[in-house]
Protein backbone atom coordinates (compact mmCIF):
# COMPACT_ATOMS: atom_id res chain seq x y z
CA UNK A 1 0.00 0.00 0.00
CA UNK A 2 1.41 3.34 -1.03
CA UNK A 3 1.39 5.93 1.77
CA UNK A 4 2.09 9.61 1.28
CA UNK A 5 0.98 12.53 -0.82
CA UNK A 6 -1.34 11.47 -3.62
CA UNK A 7 0.01 11.88 -7.11
CA UNK A 8 -0.91 15.23 -8.54
CA UNK A 9 -2.89 15.21 -11.77
CA UNK A 10 -0.78 15.66 -14.91
CA UNK A 11 -0.19 19.26 -15.84
CA UNK A 12 -2.22 20.27 -18.91
CA UNK A 13 -0.27 21.06 -22.04
CA UNK A 14 0.62 24.70 -22.60
CA UNK A 15 -0.81 26.09 -25.81
CA UNK A 16 1.85 27.09 -28.32
CA UNK A 17 0.18 29.76 -30.46
CA UNK A 18 2.10 30.51 -33.63
CA UNK A 19 1.45 33.46 -35.92
CA UNK A 20 0.14 32.18 -39.25
CA UNK A 21 2.83 33.78 -41.41
CA UNK A 22 5.54 32.17 -39.26
CA UNK A 23 3.83 28.76 -39.31
CA UNK A 24 3.62 28.85 -43.11
CA UNK A 25 7.36 29.49 -43.52
CA UNK A 26 8.90 26.14 -44.61
CA UNK A 27 11.73 26.23 -42.06
CA UNK A 28 9.32 26.91 -39.22
CA UNK A 29 6.72 24.41 -40.39
CA UNK A 30 9.32 21.65 -40.27
CA UNK A 31 10.62 22.87 -36.92
CA UNK A 32 7.23 23.11 -35.23
CA UNK A 33 6.07 19.65 -36.24
CA UNK A 34 8.68 18.28 -33.84
CA UNK A 35 6.85 19.89 -30.92
CA UNK A 36 3.32 18.61 -31.55
CA UNK A 37 3.57 16.02 -28.76
CA UNK A 38 4.89 18.50 -26.18
CA UNK A 39 2.59 21.47 -26.80
CA UNK A 40 -0.95 22.16 -27.86
CA UNK A 41 -0.05 23.69 -31.20
CA UNK A 42 -2.48 26.33 -32.51
CA UNK A 43 -2.28 29.10 -35.12
CA UNK A 44 -3.63 32.62 -35.18
CA UNK A 45 -4.01 35.11 -38.01
CA UNK A 46 -1.59 38.00 -38.34
CA UNK A 47 -3.23 40.54 -36.03
CA UNK A 48 -2.94 41.37 -32.35
CA UNK A 49 -6.72 41.04 -32.04
CA UNK A 50 -6.51 37.42 -33.25
CA UNK A 51 -3.66 36.76 -30.82
CA UNK A 52 -5.67 38.11 -27.88
CA UNK A 53 -8.71 36.09 -28.96
CA UNK A 54 -6.60 32.94 -29.26
CA UNK A 55 -5.02 33.53 -25.84
CA UNK A 56 -8.43 33.98 -24.18
CA UNK A 57 -9.28 30.33 -24.94
CA UNK A 58 -6.46 28.88 -22.85
CA UNK A 59 -5.33 29.01 -19.23
CA UNK A 60 -1.70 29.30 -20.28
CA UNK A 61 -0.13 30.01 -23.65
CA UNK A 62 3.17 30.83 -25.31
CA UNK A 63 2.90 32.82 -28.53
CA UNK A 64 5.56 32.99 -31.22
CA UNK A 65 4.94 36.36 -32.85
CA UNK A 66 6.77 38.31 -35.52
CA UNK A 67 8.52 41.35 -34.05
CA UNK A 68 7.02 43.54 -36.75
CA UNK A 69 3.50 42.75 -35.57
CA UNK A 70 4.36 43.68 -31.98
CA UNK A 71 6.07 46.90 -33.05
CA UNK A 72 3.08 47.88 -35.18
CA UNK A 73 0.74 47.22 -32.25
CA UNK A 74 2.46 49.54 -29.78
CA UNK A 75 -0.92 50.98 -28.78
CA UNK A 76 -1.92 47.54 -27.47
CA UNK A 77 1.18 47.31 -25.29
CA UNK A 78 -0.83 47.70 -22.06
CA UNK A 79 -3.13 44.84 -23.04
CA UNK A 80 -0.17 42.60 -23.81
CA UNK A 81 1.52 43.41 -20.52
CA UNK A 82 -1.71 42.77 -18.62
CA UNK A 83 -1.91 39.34 -20.23
CA UNK A 84 1.77 38.52 -19.69
CA UNK A 85 1.08 36.34 -16.64
CA UNK A 86 -0.63 33.67 -18.76
CA UNK A 87 0.38 34.77 -22.27
CA UNK A 88 4.13 34.67 -22.76
CA UNK A 89 5.42 36.26 -25.92
CA UNK A 90 8.37 34.96 -27.91
CA UNK A 91 9.33 37.39 -30.68
CA UNK A 92 10.72 36.23 -34.00
CA UNK A 93 13.42 38.75 -34.85
CA UNK A 94 15.97 39.22 -37.66
CA UNK A 95 19.49 37.91 -37.10
CA UNK A 96 21.15 41.33 -37.15
CA UNK A 97 18.48 43.74 -35.91
CA UNK A 98 20.56 45.19 -33.05
CA UNK A 99 19.72 45.53 -29.37
CA UNK A 100 17.55 48.66 -29.35
CA UNK A 101 14.45 47.02 -30.91
CA UNK A 102 14.84 44.06 -28.54
CA UNK A 103 14.81 46.35 -25.52
CA UNK A 104 11.51 47.84 -26.72
CA UNK A 105 10.08 44.36 -27.18
CA UNK A 106 11.07 43.43 -23.64
CA UNK A 107 9.05 46.42 -22.43
CA UNK A 108 6.01 45.04 -24.27
CA UNK A 109 6.36 41.81 -22.30
CA UNK A 110 8.47 39.49 -24.48
CA UNK A 111 10.06 36.57 -22.65
CA UNK A 112 12.47 35.49 -25.40
CA UNK A 113 13.65 36.09 -28.96
CA UNK A 114 14.11 33.55 -31.75
CA UNK A 115 15.44 33.76 -35.29
CA UNK A 116 14.82 31.67 -38.39
CA UNK A 117 18.19 29.99 -37.82
CA UNK A 118 17.35 28.58 -34.37
CA UNK A 119 17.95 24.86 -33.91
CA UNK A 120 15.30 22.46 -32.62
CA UNK A 121 17.30 21.92 -29.40
CA UNK A 122 17.65 25.67 -28.79
CA UNK A 123 13.96 26.28 -29.47
CA UNK A 124 13.04 23.48 -27.06
CA UNK A 125 15.23 24.98 -24.31
CA UNK A 126 13.79 28.44 -24.94
CA UNK A 127 10.18 27.26 -24.80
CA UNK A 128 10.78 25.21 -21.64
CA UNK A 129 12.36 28.22 -19.96
CA UNK A 130 9.53 30.54 -20.98
CA UNK A 131 6.94 27.99 -19.86
CA UNK A 132 8.66 27.94 -16.45
CA UNK A 133 8.35 31.73 -16.24
CA UNK A 134 11.96 32.61 -17.13
CA UNK A 135 12.96 35.50 -19.38
CA UNK A 136 15.32 33.79 -21.79
CA UNK A 137 17.48 36.63 -23.13
CA UNK A 138 21.11 37.68 -22.80
CA UNK A 139 21.89 39.08 -19.37
CA UNK A 140 23.42 42.22 -20.91
CA UNK A 141 20.22 43.01 -22.78
CA UNK A 142 18.02 42.39 -19.76
CA UNK A 143 20.24 44.59 -17.57
CA UNK A 144 20.08 47.53 -19.99
CA UNK A 145 16.32 47.26 -20.38
CA UNK A 146 15.92 47.20 -16.60
CA UNK A 147 18.16 50.25 -16.21
CA UNK A 148 16.10 52.14 -18.79
CA UNK A 149 12.90 51.15 -17.02
CA UNK A 150 14.22 52.43 -13.70
CA UNK A 151 15.55 55.60 -15.29
CA UNK A 152 12.14 56.27 -16.81
CA UNK A 153 10.12 55.58 -13.67
CA UNK A 154 12.45 57.32 -11.25
CA UNK A 155 13.40 60.20 -13.52
CA UNK A 156 13.37 63.53 -11.67
CA UNK A 157 11.86 66.59 -13.27
CA UNK A 158 14.71 68.07 -15.24
CA UNK A 159 14.72 71.28 -17.20
CA UNK A 160 15.24 71.13 -20.94
CA UNK A 161 18.81 72.40 -20.56
CA UNK A 162 19.52 69.80 -17.86
CA UNK A 163 18.30 67.11 -20.24
CA UNK A 164 20.70 68.49 -22.85
CA UNK A 165 23.62 68.38 -20.42
CA UNK A 166 22.70 64.87 -19.27
CA UNK A 167 22.49 63.59 -22.84
CA UNK A 168 25.90 64.98 -23.75
CA UNK A 169 27.39 63.54 -20.57
CA UNK A 170 26.10 60.15 -21.69
CA UNK A 171 28.07 60.59 -24.93
CA UNK A 172 31.26 60.92 -22.90
CA UNK A 173 31.92 64.60 -23.65
CA UNK A 174 34.10 66.72 -21.39
CA UNK A 175 32.78 69.80 -19.60
CA UNK A 176 34.50 72.03 -22.10
CA UNK A 177 32.98 70.19 -25.07
CA UNK A 178 29.50 70.24 -23.51
CA UNK A 179 29.73 73.99 -22.85
CA UNK A 180 30.84 74.58 -26.45
CA UNK A 181 28.06 72.40 -27.88
CA UNK A 182 25.42 74.21 -25.84
CA UNK A 183 26.95 77.69 -26.24
CA UNK A 184 27.05 78.28 -22.49
CA UNK A 185 29.83 79.37 -20.16
CA UNK A 186 31.75 76.89 -17.95
CA UNK A 187 30.18 78.54 -14.89
CA UNK A 188 26.67 77.99 -16.25
CA UNK A 189 27.51 74.37 -17.01
CA UNK A 190 28.76 73.82 -13.46
CA UNK A 191 25.47 75.24 -12.17
CA UNK A 192 23.51 72.76 -14.33
CA UNK A 193 25.71 69.90 -13.12
CA UNK A 194 25.10 70.84 -9.48
CA UNK A 195 21.36 70.74 -10.17
CA UNK A 196 21.71 67.33 -11.82
CA UNK A 197 23.62 65.89 -8.88
CA UNK A 198 21.00 67.26 -6.51
CA UNK A 199 17.94 66.05 -8.47
CA UNK A 200 19.31 62.58 -9.26
CA UNK A 201 20.90 62.16 -5.80
CA UNK A 202 24.09 60.92 -7.46
CA UNK A 203 27.53 61.78 -6.14
CA UNK A 204 30.08 61.19 -8.89
CA UNK A 205 30.47 62.02 -12.55
CA UNK A 206 30.71 58.31 -13.43
CA UNK A 207 27.37 57.63 -11.74
CA UNK A 208 25.82 60.52 -13.65
CA UNK A 209 27.25 59.20 -16.93
CA UNK A 210 25.84 55.71 -16.22
CA UNK A 211 22.47 57.28 -15.40
CA UNK A 212 22.58 59.26 -18.65
CA UNK A 213 23.40 56.14 -20.66
CA UNK A 214 20.49 54.28 -19.06
CA UNK A 215 18.10 57.17 -19.71
CA UNK A 216 19.15 57.17 -23.38
CA UNK A 217 18.04 59.64 -26.03
CA UNK A 218 20.40 61.46 -28.37
CA UNK A 219 20.86 65.19 -27.98
CA UNK A 220 21.04 67.54 -30.92
CA UNK A 221 23.21 70.56 -30.37
CA UNK A 222 21.17 73.76 -30.64
CA UNK A 223 21.92 76.21 -33.40
CA UNK A 224 24.31 78.98 -32.44
CA UNK A 225 22.32 82.05 -31.41
CA UNK A 226 22.48 84.91 -33.87
CA UNK A 227 24.31 87.99 -32.73
CA UNK A 228 22.32 91.18 -32.24
CA UNK A 229 23.91 92.85 -35.26
CA UNK A 230 23.22 89.83 -37.46
CA UNK A 231 19.62 89.69 -36.31
CA UNK A 232 19.14 93.33 -37.06
CA UNK A 233 20.72 92.99 -40.48
Is 50 exceeded by the pLDDT of residue 3? no
Q: Over 80: is that where the pLDDT of 209 sits? A: yes
Top-confidence residue, 50 or 79:
50
Across the beta sheet with 15-19, the strand order is 40-44, 15-19, 61-66, 87-92, 110-114
The DSSP secondary-structure symbol of 222 reads: P
Condensed to tens digits (0 to 9), the pLDDT of residues 72-83 reads: 776 666 666 666
Contact 29, 23 (CB under 8 A): yes
CA trace torsion 70, 74, 75, 76 (10° rounding):
30
* 3-state DSSP of 28-92: HHHHHHHHCCCCEEEEECCCHHHHHHHHCCCCCEEEEEEHHHHHHCHHHHHHHHHHCCCEEEEEE
Tell me what pLDDT residue 233 has: 40
Q: Which pLDDT value is given to residue 157?
A: 77
Q: What is the pLDDT of residues 126-175, one digit of tens each?
A: 999 999 989 998 887 777 766 666 565 545 678 889 989 988 998 889 99
Compare 190 and 35 and report the one with higher pLDDT.
190
pLDDT beyond 80 at 68: yes
Q: What is the CATH number of domain 15-150?
A: 3.40.50.2300
What is the helix (H) or strand (E) element at residue 160, kind and residue range?
helix 160-170
Q: Exposure of 132 by Cβ count < 10 A (0-12 exposed, 13-18 middle, 19+ buried)? A: exposed
155-232: CATH topology: Arc Repressor Mutant, subunit A (1.10.10)
- Helix/strand/coil for 138: coil
Q: What is the dihedral of CA 211, 213, 214, 218, to 10 degrees?
A: 120
Computed over every residue of the chain, the mean pLDDT equals 80
Q: According to CATH, where is 1.10.10.10 located in the chain?
A: 155-232
Pairwise pLDDT comparison (135 vs 219), residue with the higher score = 135
Phi, psi of 112 (to 5 degrees): -165, 165
* CATH 3.40.50.2300, the chain: domain bounds: 15-150
| Greatest extent of the chain over all pairs of C-alpha atoms, in Å | 104
What is the length of the chain? 233
- CB burial of residue 61 (10 Å; 0-12, 13-18, 19+): buried
- Amino acid 80: pLDDT: 66
Amino acid sequence: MKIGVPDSPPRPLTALAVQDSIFRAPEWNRLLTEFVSDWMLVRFHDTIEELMDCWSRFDRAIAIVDAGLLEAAESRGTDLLRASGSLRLVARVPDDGGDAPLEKLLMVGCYAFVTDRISPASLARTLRGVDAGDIVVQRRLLSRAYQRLLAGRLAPKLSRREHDVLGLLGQGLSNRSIAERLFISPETLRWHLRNLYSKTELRSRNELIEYAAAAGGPVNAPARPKSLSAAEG
